[in-house]
Amino acid sequence: MKWLPGLVLGLWSLAVAAEQPIPVELEQLPERHPIVREIVFKGNEITQRKVLAREMRIEVGDPADPIHIKDSRQAIQNLGLFKQVIVEQTPTDGGVVLIFTVVEKWYLLPYPRLDYNSDREFAFGFKLDWSNVSGLNHQLEALVSRQQNAEKDRGDATEFEFDYFAPYAWDTAVDFGASASHDITPIEEDNAAGETISYKEDYSRFSVLALRRLTPGHGSQGWRIGGGLLWQNETLRGPEAPEENGMATAAVLQGRFERLDDRLYSSAGWLFGWRVELAAEDIASHYDYIDLRLNYFRSIPLWDVPHQTLRILFDVGSYHGGPRDFDAYGLGGGSNLRGFDKDEFEGDAFWRLSLEVQRPLFGYKPVRGLVVMDMGRTYDDFDRFTFSDTQIDAGIGLRWRIQTFVNLTLELGYAWPLTRGGSEPFFGKL
């Protein structure tokens, strides 16, 4: 029975162990933040407080979570109205006060227009850019000018334009826009008999559009969907004028998604948009047509170098119906295929892809070196889509971001077609 004491001792040890509570792994306590007791805005001498407040990702009574504070600062910066946005926390009874200090840009820019662009079009006149009307982030543009045309059969055009855009119109979640334009252009061309004829073209457009914001709590980011009306009319004057196309009134449907951060000298994120125009003959129109368009933009930071980005721009469109002898789209020139003449390729359908790499030069953030590649093609009809005969160019240049004014970037460069010889400069305002 020598084994009996050992057995008793073993059983006793097991009993004691059974009585010991099994340790339970406790969940980590959430990080505690002081409560936001007040939000203060400083430096907004023109911009109204409600414009800033509706961009906030944090409210009075919320914990002062650094992530939400950072997101709020970025959302205010995304308005594009400020050269700088600084946020501070100061302690107060029962929490903290958040202080957002902004440095406003110049919002009113009236100037004589004296332009010459890479498409060899010279223009002079007067333009007004007002970027923060009444401190509500509304935008107004007005233009009166005389402009040369790159197309040989079109003479100097007289242009009148007016655009107004009101985000959060009437303190609602609706963005409202209205625009009007009228161009008078002398034309000299050969008719079917080979005779040279001269006449004047009056072309007028008027549109109204309302977009509803569908992403609550994200200010200027997220989805916007809506529609409106577009009226356009062509009148040809002169005894030799051919038959005019007349007018069309189109219903417009449009959508847009934006998730794009403004980083002062570059951007990061993406946006996507679509637009449909639809007109029916005999419903306030002399002809019917449908115009379908998609666009995509992406800006990708590269290799953790500040403001070094890859920009991707893609557009596609298809136009059906419409008036006689009309090409809806043109490719070529400083705004798309930079190595070719303006509107060198025309048709009722198109696609265009541009890749741009930009990087600050010599550590100076406002000026960036630029390497570009553009490609695209037009078609008589989208049913004839093919990648054969795609036009491609490559180029280098400079971009200068001027922070004193809202959304002002100047571009200068040179591009070379890869599908033929030659070269073209490109420059102008983005």
In order, the DSSP letters of 97-161 are EEEEEEEE-B-EEEEEEEEE-TTS-EEEEEEEEEEEETTTTEEEEEEEEEE--SSTTB-PEEEEE
- Measured CA to CA in angstroms, residue 427 lies from 52, 121, 383, 404 at distances of 35, 11, 34, 20
- The full length of the chain comes to 430
* CA distance readout (Å), 256 to 28, 80, 296: 41, 18, 10
Tell me, yes or no, whether 308 lies in a domain. Answer: yes
Please identify, among 102, 121, 140, the residue that sits at the C-terminal boundary of a domain.
102
Residue 296 lies in a domain: yes
Q: Are 377 and 391 in contact (CB under 8 A)?
A: yes
Based on the domain organization, do 116 and 229 belong to the same domain? yes
Residue 129 shares a structural domain with residue 264: no
Q: Alpha-carbon distance 55 to 72, whole Å?
A: 7
pLDDT of residue 394: 97
CB 300 within 8 A of CB 279: no
What is the signed CA dihedral for 335, 340, 342, 346, rounded to 10 degrees?
-100
Domain co-membership, 261 together with 397: yes
Do 266 and 235 have their domain in common? no
pLDDT tens digits for range 364-382: 999 999 999 999 999 988 7
For residue 15, pLDDT beyond 90: no
Residues 344-368 have pLDDT tens digits of: 899 999 999 999 999 999 889 999 9
Residue 353 falls within a domain, yes or no?
Answer: yes
Query: Does residue 12 sit within a domain?
Result: no
Strands (E), 148-286: 157-166, 174-190, 196-213, 222-237, 246-262, 267-279
Residue type present at position 426:
F
Q: How many domains is the chain built from? A: 3
Specify the pLDDT at position 367. 95
When pLDDT is cut at 50, 70 and 90, the band that residue 168 belongs to is very high
Q: Looking at residues 378-399, what average pLDDT do you find?
A: 90
Q: Are residues 196 and 94 in the same domain?
A: no
* 107 Cα distance to chain centroid: 19
CA–CA dist 106, 397 (Å, integer)? 27
Q: Is residue 287 part of a domain?
A: yes
Measuring CA to CA, how many Å separate 263 from each of 80, 366, 397? 9, 11, 21
CATH number, domain of 346, equals 2.40.160.50
CATH code, domain with 86 = 3.10.20.310
- Does residue 208 sit in the same domain as residue 351? no
At 109, list the tokens.
């820019």
pLDDT: is 148 or 266 the higher one? 266
**What local confidence, expressed as pLDDT, does residue 322 receive?**
87
Please report whether residue 8 resides in a domain: no
Q: Is residue 4 part of a domain?
A: no
How high is the pLDDT of residue 381?
84
Could you tell me if 208 and 284 lie in one domain? no
Domain boundary among 184, 213, 244: 244
Sorted by sequence, the CB contacts under 8 Å of residue 315 that are 6+ apart come out as: 293, 294, 295, 296, 336, 350, 351, 352
Q: DSSP code of 80?
A: S
Q: Which range is least confidently modeled, 17-26, 261-270, 338-347?
A: 17-26
- Do 196 and 305 sit in the same domain of this protein? no
154 vs 413, higher pLDDT? 413
Q: Kindly compute the dihedral angle of the four CA atoms of residues 149, 154, 159, 161, in this order, to the nearest 10 degrees.
A: -80
Q: What is the pTM of this model?
A: 0.85
Residues 280 and 292 placed together within one structural domain of the fold: yes
Nearest Cα to Cα of residue 335 among 316, 349, 354: 354
Do 133 and 264 share a structural domain? Answer: no
Q: Which amino acid is at 343?
A: D
Instruction: Show which of 195, 220, 244 is a domain's final residue.
Output: 244
Q: How far does CA 234 lie from the centroid of its chain?
A: 29
CA angle 138, 409, 413 (to 5 degrees): 150
Q: How far is CA 405 from CA 64, 82, 144, 167, 429, in A?
A: 33, 9, 21, 19, 13
Q: What is the pLDDT of residue 12?
A: 47
**Residue 427: predicted pLDDT:** 84
Rounded-to-integer distance, Cα 83 and Cα 160, Å: 31
- Residue pLDDT, tens place only, 86-119: 999 999 998 999 999 999 999 987 766 666 655 5
Residue 269 sits in the same domain as residue 305: yes
Residues 95 and 184 in one domain: no
The answer as to whether 26 is a domain residue is no
Query: Which domain covers residue 380, as residue numbers?
Result: 245-430
